[in-house]
Amino acid sequence: MRYYNENIDKAIIEILNKKGERTFGKLKEEVENFIKHTLSFETYSNRLHNMSEPYKKESRYAIQPVLHKRDQGRGKNVFYFLTRNAKIRYNLMLPILKIDTMIEKAYRLLFYYIVFYYSPSIKLKDDYEYNALLDKLRIKKNELEFVRTTVFNQFKITKWVHAKSEIEITRKDFLQPSTKEGKYEYFYILPGISPAEFQNINEHVLPYYNLRITEAEIKESFRLLENQKLIKILPYYLDVPNQERYIIGGEVLKDLLGDCWSLQSHVFTYLEYRWQSLFKPTKEEKIWFEHLWGENRSNKWFRYCHNKRKNYQNENKNQLLKETRDRIDSEKSEIKKIFELIEKEHTKTINEYSYFINPLLNVVYPEFIRKETPNHNN
């Protein structure tokens, strides 16, 4: 099988994004300088043709077409430039080549499960099941560290954690006036997630729910993330074949991901206020939103915002209420504050994981929002 050099495509995209429209000949010269070797006329022409096709089922590209062609007529120059959608995806650091989508899915999977997924609390019937669990996990009782005890009206909750594995144990004691007074039960929570568990997540209200990712791709994503030390296998897990559990590679990365989600939440709220009172979403905003929430949910949300905006403007005679303006300004201020905190508190982590964090930050806080944030450092 003939080797396919995707660096040619990446060079074409990079050059056209940076320099704009190029003639057939000039672009070929610049691509050759970029990849540091010459291209045959046939190879180069085929790349431009494939990238300009409107739709091809077996295309190598996540978006089609990637290029537009402007032909000045017979015997004259032919110019190439990125389509608007391709340029927006490039600026949002979203993949254009399908070969990159596996890596992106891995990053999205990591962001999804560490921020949104909470392991279920599993109930144990009695002391026998509790002791059997500790035996399976190879944990001794004296290795459990006391966290706290909280007393409620009818029961008392006591929590322990196994520091090395981060496994949480909870005991619930029933108190008077509960009808179960004197009885108790245990619960445990395993940290992280297994590939099989991720396959069964059914949280359609969360971003990245519709990843369209197969079981094999999930396993490959976990492997990619583990190789980059973004995640690691939990050293203690239930004795079930092929059910390794993964946790984030370090607390600093976990904290950064949490702050990224907080930033994204405020960006979303800011746009929500705008779309429901001031303006319809731009093309750029639509592509960004659909990347997070999927096409179906995005279309429903935009229709909802359209109706809300129409009613708001009718009720207020096309005037923006001070209350709404204050909310919009408050969200802009919060966005700026959180991003500055991220830059200040997580500088080392961002530099260490720049290949992952920079594209992620560009999605949770895209360039078109940064331009609207007043007095931003960048």
Q: Cβ distance 8 to 43 under 8 Å? A: yes
Q: Cβ distance 198 to 174 under 8 Å? A: no
What pLDDT band is residue 4 in, cutting at 50, 70 and 90? confident
C-alpha to C-alpha distance for 112 and 173, rounded to whole angstroms? 34
Distances (CA, A) of 374 to 192, 273, 274, 329, 347: 38, 18, 16, 10, 22
Assessment of whether the complete model's pTM goes beyond 0.85: no
**Same CATH fold, 100-117+194-248 and 6-91?**
yes
β 231-233/122-124 pair status: unpaired
Instruction: For residue 97, give both structure tokens.
Output: 């080549």
Tokens 């389509």 label which residue?
83
- Lowest model confidence (mean pLDDT) among 23-27, 216-220, 261-265, 317-321: 216-220
The structural domains of the chain, with segments of one domain joined by +, span: 6-91, 100-117+194-248, 122-189, 251-370
Strands (DSSP E) along 197-261, which ranges? 231-233, 246-248
Instruction: For residue 284, give both structure tokens.
Output: 């750029």
**Per CATH, the architecture of 100-117+194-248 is what?**
Orthogonal Bundle (1.10)
| 255: exposed, middle or buried (Cβ count in 10 Å: 0-12, 13-18, 19+) | middle
The tens digit of pLDDT for each residue in 339-378 reads 999 999 999 998 888 877 887 888 888 888 888 775 444 4
Q: Which of 209, 206, 212, 257 is nearest to 231 (CA)?
A: 257
CATH class of 6-91: mainly alpha
Report helix, strand or coil for 312.
helix
The tens digit of pLDDT for each residue in 117-141 reads 666 788 998 899 999 988 888 889 9
Q: Which of 296, 113, 275 is nearest to 206 (CA)?
A: 113
Radius of gyration of the chain (CA): 26
C-alpha to C-alpha distance for 229 and 250, rounded to whole angstroms? 9
